[in-house]
Structures are given as structure tokens and as C-alpha cells.
Structure 1
Amino acid sequence: MCRWLAYTGEPLRPAALVLDAQHSVVAMSQNSPLGAETVNGDGFGFGWYPQDTGGTGAASPRHPFVFRSIEPAWNDQNLREITRAVLSPLFFAHVRAAAGPPIQQTNCHPFRHDEWLFMHNGAISGFGLIKRDLTLAVDPALYPLIQGTTDSEVLFHLALTYGLADDPITAVGAAIRRVEELGRAAGVPFPMQGTLAVSDGTTLWAFRYSSQGRSRTLFHSADIPTLRAMYPDAERLSLFGDHAQVVVSEPLNDVPGIFHEVGESTVAVLDPDGYHHRAFLDAA
């Protein structure tokens, strides 16, 4: 399917995670040991919120920037230039393995609406059977904004329709329940599969859920002060501030204790106060 990474914390050069980590996002585009597909070369996307100019270093709700391409991530010099040039306190990176919808820029994640970013690894099974009903459930004011042909973009606009701006967890849950309702009515036993990330520039929500209870992999980094105590000689940790947090499809390195798996049917919430998780939609 795909692989993705989301970072929040002190402003960081994204290249540290997108390019330079042992198992960086670009490395995952070429070789993804835990992915459904080993190679994710059908385009990529990078979305980021700018560094706060008020001196706090925190992200604030504002229009994020997005760069997307149908090039393989490992072959795009612009991605290298951008991720080494910008400083961002919150960014998304996604590499795509197309599972049906064509390879085109509008089908590359992350997707953006106002201050929101959204990306997905997984699929809506039987999407062709329920695509019409799902898209008709999108708010008529949002429907013209769907530019591509992926199930993921429709899911994003369903979440926006169901109140993403007011309550992201409830809205994403309602969108997924709608997918499951229509899918099962069409004879699809397990309609929803995937991990999702969504942010408004201040908080990051990362969801792991599938109708079958066998979701794509998702991991969260341990807190930096703990890691510094575990590995006092690890110079690379000096790149990160005390509030740095990463959610990623698979660990960025092989060092024990750095990454912990996010549980099944769970939403991880990362905000300026830290990290917590809660149960999300019992698997049917």
C-alpha cells in the first residue's frame, strides 16, 4: 500500500527523518520490510507547517505547504532540497504504492484543506462498489474540492463533512463507520483497512484501525529525555528537542527501545502537552 511518517515537536530539518535516518521514508520507498508492498515508488508527498515566527517554536493553525510528485521519492532532487532547507515543527511525509487509482499528482498524499493535512496507508476494500454512495455523502460544498480518484481523498472529505474541525476523533470514526456500513451492504466483509494521520497544525492524530482487526503497522517513538538516558552517547539524539515525537509506519532504525507499536483500534494524540492514546472503534 504505502508508508508514511508524521513529526511534531521543536522545529526540525525534515531531512533528518525523511532522508538521513537508517530506515528513512525515502529508504522505505525502496525497501519496506513491514509493508504490504516492498517498494513504494508510485509518487510521494511532503506536507509541512512553517516555523512559528513569534519565537515560541510551536506550530499554530495556519495554511500548510504541500509538495507532491509522481516521481519515486528516491529519485527526486526537489524533495532533498526542500527537506534540507525548511524548518518545521510539524510535518507529514508519504510514499505511495498505487493499489488501483492511477499514478497522478492529485492522487499523492498528503491531502490538504484549509489548515488540515491528511494521509492514509491502506485501502477501502470494494471501493468501486460504494464510491458513488460515499462521494454523495460528502458535503456538497466540499465535493468540488475532491481533485483525485483515491479512496483516501474521499475518506478525508467524509471526515471533513462529519465535523473534523470540531472533533477529529469522532469525525474520522463516523467516516469509517459510513465506509463499513456501505461496504457490508455491498457484500464486502472487511471494508476498512489502514493507518491515518490528520493534523490542524497544532495537534496530530494518528489512527490505526481495520474492520478485520489486522491493521497496517504503526509505531510511535519513545520520548527524547528517556532515550537520552538510555543512550547517553548517541550523538544523533542531539538533533531533537525534548518534545520531539514521531509516528511512522515502521521503525526508522534498529535500536531497541526507540519505537513502540501503536495498538490495534487505537488513536494516538500528540499535542504540545505530550502523547496519549485511547481506544478507537472496536473492530467489528
Structure 2
Amino acid sequence: MCRWAAYRGEPLYLEELVSSPAHSLIEQSHCATRAKTATNGDGFGIAWYGDRPDPGRYRDILPAWSDCNLRSLARQIRSPLFLAHVRAATTGATRRDNCHPFVHGHWSFMHNGQISGFDRIRRQMEGMLSDELFHARSGTTDSELLFLLALQLGLDADPLGAMERAIAAVEDLSMEKSGEALVRFTAAFSDGKELYAVRYATDHSPPTLYAAPTGGKTGYCLVSEPLNDEVDAWVEIPDGSAVKVCAEGIKVSVFAPQGEGVSEDVRKTA
């Protein structure tokens, strides 16, 4: 499983999450403590927002601990909203366009988890996309395709609702194809204004997610595992939760995909 960290609030240097803490994201890339695999060396990526609406991005297939450019960039880039990810591949080869975060327009997205039996439903998921979104896909991961499906289902207008509909569609397709469905999904995504996150699993065993106040009155950090040993500072987000970090602070609500919720005209050939 992968590890990630995301932040929204007063501008911070990326190194304050990526490289400086005792258990930074780079440290987690070779010594994760709350994941099935301790090593997350199949590439990394960062996406950050500045003066322009679309995010900047840097990704590579090197392990995060061995890329000196990542440490240098993290020392120099200061942003009010950014996503960072280290990858342990489950679906898709180790190549740059399979590294998170994925971006489309002003949206950025990263994911820890998997769609069980993805190969059986991949073509049907692709068939639900518009031509524009289908051709926007450059990699082969279940994560990128799920992100594009959420865009298809209204991410711009209703971010958390669109993600619920996307996961419900995946579960429906899996049930149709094999009679069972398993989605494990702990993800963060942003439109450059708000930061969203979800912790959910069909079997109620999702990858971990923690939150802590960081960088001022309304700043929050969301992480796969705590960045330091200050246990009281970190709150575990429960299974079946949606998180929104905005100017007013952090809000946590129920995340509950409902099956059979995608109309046939949207599903097309699925």
C-alpha cells in the first residue's frame, strides 16, 4: 500500500511534510509503520497550487529517498495547498504516468488502496467516460481511472457526491461481473481551493488516515500515518468518512456510496 500526505492552510514549505519531520513522507517511503508493506519505493509525486488555478506537479519512478531533486524542491516550494505521495504498486507498472498525484485541469488526486478484480471491469469503466476524459488517461492504474470516472460523474459540481457515485458504480460493475465487490479507498483530492479526503472500504478495512492541525488557525494536514510521535496531536479518521478542509477549518461527514445509483445513459456500454 502507498503512503501520502496533504495540506491546506497558510503557505508552508513542502519540506515540512515531505522531508523534515522525524517520520516524514520520505522516511515512510522506506520505513512505513502502519502499512502492509514497509517499503514504498515504486515512485513518488507532488502536486502543489500557487498563483495559477492548475497545479504544478513533479513525479518520478525513483524511490523518494534516493531523489535529491525532491528534497531540493521541497525546500524551495511554498504553497497553501499541496499533495504528496509515495507509491507501492498494486496495479500498473512502475512508470512515471502511473505515479500519483494525477491531475486534470485544476483537479489533483492521489489514492491508497485498490479495486479488487480491476482487470475484469476496466473496459466497462473506460466505457463510462466521455471521449475527452478517455483520451486524458495516460497510465494504467485503477486509481487514475477512478479519478476520471469521478470527473465524469460531477466532481466539479459535487466533489464528495461524485466520488460516492464513482465508487458505487465500481461496486455495481464488480457485482455484475463476479458476484463480489471489494474497494479499498483512502484518497485525497483538490480543486485548488478546498482539500477533500475519503476513507472507505467495502469490507470496512480501509487504509489508514489521520488528521492534525498544522500551520495556523485553519491549517490541517491529512496523512496516511502520523509524521511525528506527538500522539495526542493526530486524530484517526474513521472508516466511512469524508473530509473537507476549507477556510473554516476541517469538516468530517459520512461517506456512503449507494449501489445502483448511476443511470444507464451515463454507464453507456458498462
| Shorter-normalised TM range | over 0.9
Letter in 1 for 2:34: L
Secondary structure of 2:155's match? Answer: coil
Once residues 100 and 48 of structure 1 are traced to their aligned partners in structure 2, the CA distance between those partners, rounded to angstroms, is 25
Once residues 72 and 126 of structure 2 are traced to their aligned partners in structure 1, the CA distance between those partners, rounded to angstroms, is 37
Q: Is 1:256 paired with 2:254? A: no
Q: Does structure 2 conserve the Cα–Cα contact (< 8 Å) formed by 1:210 and 1:283?
A: no
Q: Does structure 2 conserve the Cα–Cα contact (< 8 Å) formed by 1:45 and 1:95?
A: yes
Q: Does structure 2 conserve the Cα–Cα contact (< 8 Å) formed by 1:46 and 1:92?
A: yes
List, as ranges, runs of 4+ consecutive aligned residues in structure 1 with deviation greater than 4 Å. Answer: none
Q: Does structure 2 conserve the Cα–Cα contact (< 8 Å) formed by 1:209 and 1:283?
A: no
2:190 counterpart residue number: 199
1:162 counterpart residue number: 153
Percent of matched pairs sharing the same residue: 41
Residue 266 of structure 1 deviates from its aligned partner by: 0.3
Once residues 195 and 278 of structure 1 are traced to their aligned partners in structure 2, the CA distance between those partners, rounded to angstroms, is 15
Q: Does structure 2 conserve the Cα–Cα contact (< 8 Å) formed by 1:49 and 1:64?
A: yes
2:7 counterpart residue number: 7
- Of the candidates 174, 180, 191, which is equivalent to residue 189 of structure 1? 180
Write the mapping of 1:54-203 to structure 2, written as runs, cut at 5 A. 62-187=53-178, 189-203=180-194
Residue 43 of structure 1 deviates from its aligned partner by: 0.1
Once residues 100 and 146 of structure 1 are traced to their aligned partners in structure 2, the CA distance between those partners, rounded to angstroms, is 15
Q: Does structure 1 conserve the Cα–Cα contact (< 8 Å) formed by 2:165 and 2:258?
A: no
Once residues 129 and 37 of structure 2 are traced to their aligned partners in structure 1, the CA distance between those partners, rounded to angstroms, is 30
Structure 2 residues without counterparts, runs of 5 or longer: 260-270
TM-score (norm 2): 0.93
The count of residues paired between Structure 1 and Structure 2 equals 259
1:159-190 Cα shifts (integer Å, max 9, x gaps):
00001000001100110001100111222633
Secondary structure of 1:257's match? Answer: helix
2:20 counterpart residue number: 20
Residue 16 of structure 1 deviates from its aligned partner by: 1.1
Once residues 258 and 28 of structure 2 are traced to their aligned partners in structure 1, the CA distance between those partners, rounded to angstroms, is 28
Letter in 1 for 2:59: R
Structure 1 residues without counterparts, runs of 5 or longer: 53-60, 225-239
Once residues 175 and 208 of structure 2 are traced to their aligned partners in structure 1, the CA distance between those partners, rounded to angstroms, is 24
1:246 counterpart residue number: 221
